[in-house]
């Protein structure tokens, strides 16, 4: 009978780290004998045998690459996965894609599954900031490449990301160039590097432009459509007290939610409100007006991730493996029709007087 317990469950019962259990299961010499004996006894007690982790597969590649992303509906992640698959499938590898739904619990669950399947490498857009669940992969020398977000772990890691501060700078500079000086924003969780960097880029760009940052115009969501919708409603409900002429939303699904709220309020873009979204795709060209949006080079991210993975897999025993790479790619802005030139009341008064 297969055990219902994971390595993480057993680690908690023994009050030791999951990585220690992992090292014992994989017969690493860094585990003390008494600790190893405790672990092996617990594995037997909970019907969790080392065979379940398939230690023998460590010497024989499974040709599987695990990918965990927070939302499979996001077009950027889909395009990134296609970029990865294009390269690694040609090299004889297959992918397993998991959707964590922005949940730390689901991410941990999928990490357990992929570890037990002994994937040859892992691509992870993590929502678990401490990175504890992924340490077992790193300690077993399984190549891991992070995308979208970085964990806060005290070791060198591989990553392919965009310059998130630059992304916000592109958006804010665009709005400032059109005369906007009351710019609201909907940011993702600033506990994550992605959200934090996009917030810093927003604040820094306003400051450089000589515009005071108004904290009341900053809303924090969780990257999901509902949070974008709710944050936008709060901004609009308070617009009489905290006026703004433009809004910048920092993720695809939050952009969708924010647009829904704006239209429900009966407002028109850009007549009533200028709008810049993030990763807003419109292949049909049917969205009217077209939405100005910050875009990530998703396919290029995937290609770079795949090339880095293959490099790691092909040179697994090389001393250069210890030198990790963080590749930062440039975002870009697509200009459509959702932003307009803003004239202040002072300008309007002057025009009337003339």
Identify whether residues 83 and 39 lie together within a single domain: no
Place of tokens 């969790």: 48
Identify whether residues 157 and 168 lie together within a single domain: no
Alpha-carbon gap, residue 329 to 300, rounded angstroms: 9
pTM for the full predicted model:
0.79
On whether residue 350 sits in a domain, the answer given is no
**Domain encompassing residue 286:** 164-296+333-345
Identify whether residues 110 and 241 lie together within a single domain: no
**Helix, strand, or coil (residue 274):** strand
In this structure, what CATH number is given to the domain that contains residue 28? 1.10.260.40
Of 187, 208, 206, nearest in space to 197 by CA: 187
On whether residue 354 sits in a domain, the answer given is no
On whether residue 232 sits in a domain, the answer given is yes
Identify whether residues 338 and 202 lie together within a single domain: yes
On whether residue 351 sits in a domain, the answer given is no
Q: How far is CA 155 from the centre of its chain?
A: 19
∠130-70-249 over CA atoms, to 5°? 100
Identify whether residues 74 and 117 lie together within a single domain: yes
Total domains, the chain: 3
Identify whether residues 178 and 150 lie together within a single domain: no
On whether residue 17 sits in a domain, the answer given is yes
Q: Where are the alpha helices (DSSP H) in the chain?
A: 7-14, 18-25, 33-45, 75-90, 104-116, 135-139, 164-177, 193-208, 225-237, 252-264, 298-314, 345-353
Identify whether residues 173 and 291 lie together within a single domain: yes
- Write out the chain's pLDDT in tens, 354 residues: 455 677 778 888 888 887 788 777 766 656 788 888 888 888 888 877 554 444 444 445 789 999 999 999 999 999 999 999 999 999 999 999 999 999 999 999 999 999 998 899 999 999 988 888 899 999 888 999 999 999 988 888 999 999 999 999 999 999 999 999 999 999 999 999 999 999 999 999 999 999 999 999 999 999 999 999 999 999 999 999 999 999 999 999 999 999 999 999 999 999 999 999 999 998 887 788 999 999 999 999 999 999 999 999 987 655 455 578 899 999 999 999 999 998 654 443 343 344
In this structure, what CATH number is given to the domain that contains residue 182? 3.40.50.2300
Neighbouring-strand partners of residue 160: 147, 327
Of 155, 47, 67, nearest in space to 117 by CA: 67
Identify whether residues 207 and 286 lie together within a single domain: yes
């Amino acid at each position: 009978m297969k055990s219902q317990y994971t390595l993480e469950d057993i680690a908690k019962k023994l009050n030791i780290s999951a990585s220690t259990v992992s090292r014992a299961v994989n017969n690493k010499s860094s585990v003390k004998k008494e600790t190893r004996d405790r672990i092996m006894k617990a594995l037997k007690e909970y019907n969790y045998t080392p065979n379940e982790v398939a230690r023998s597969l460590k010497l024989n590649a499974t040709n599987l690459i695990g990918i965990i992303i927070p939302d499979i509906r996001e077009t950027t992640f889909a395009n990134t996965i296609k970029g990865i698959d294009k390269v690694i499938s040609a090299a004889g590898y297959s992918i397993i894609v998991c959707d964590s739904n922005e949940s730390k619990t689901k991410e941990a669950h999928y990490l357990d599954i992929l570890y037990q399947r002994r994937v040859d490498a892992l691509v992870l857009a993590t929502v678990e900031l401490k990175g504890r669940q992924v340490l077992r992969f790193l300690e077993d020398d399984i190549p891991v490449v992070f995308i979208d977000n970085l964990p806060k772990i005290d070791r060198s890691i591989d990553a392919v990301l965009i310059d998130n501060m630059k992304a916000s700078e592109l958006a804010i500079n665009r709005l400032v160039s059109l005369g906007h000086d009351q710019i609201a924003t909907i940011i993702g969780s600033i506990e994550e590097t992605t959200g934090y960097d996009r917030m810093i880029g927003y604040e820094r760009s306003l400051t450089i432009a000589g515009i005071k940052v108004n904290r009341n115009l900053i809303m924090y969501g969780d990257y999901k459509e509902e949070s974008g919708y709710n944050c936008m409603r709060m901004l609009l409900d308070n617009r009489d007290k905290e006026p703004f002429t433009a809004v910048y939303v920092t993720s695809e699904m939050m952009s969708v939610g924010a647009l829904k709220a704006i239209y429900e309020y009966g407002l028109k873009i850009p007549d009533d409100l200028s709008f810049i979204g993030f990763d807003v795709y419109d292949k049909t060209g049917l969205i009217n007006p077209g939405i100005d949006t910050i875009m990530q080079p998703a396919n290029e991210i995937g290609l770079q991730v795949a090339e880095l993975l293959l490099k790691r897999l092909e040179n697994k025993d090389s001393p250069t493996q210890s030198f990790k790479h963080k590749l930062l790619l440039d975002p870009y802005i697509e200009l459509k029709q959702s932003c307009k030139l803003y004239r202040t009341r002072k300008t309007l008064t002057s025009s009337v007087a003339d």
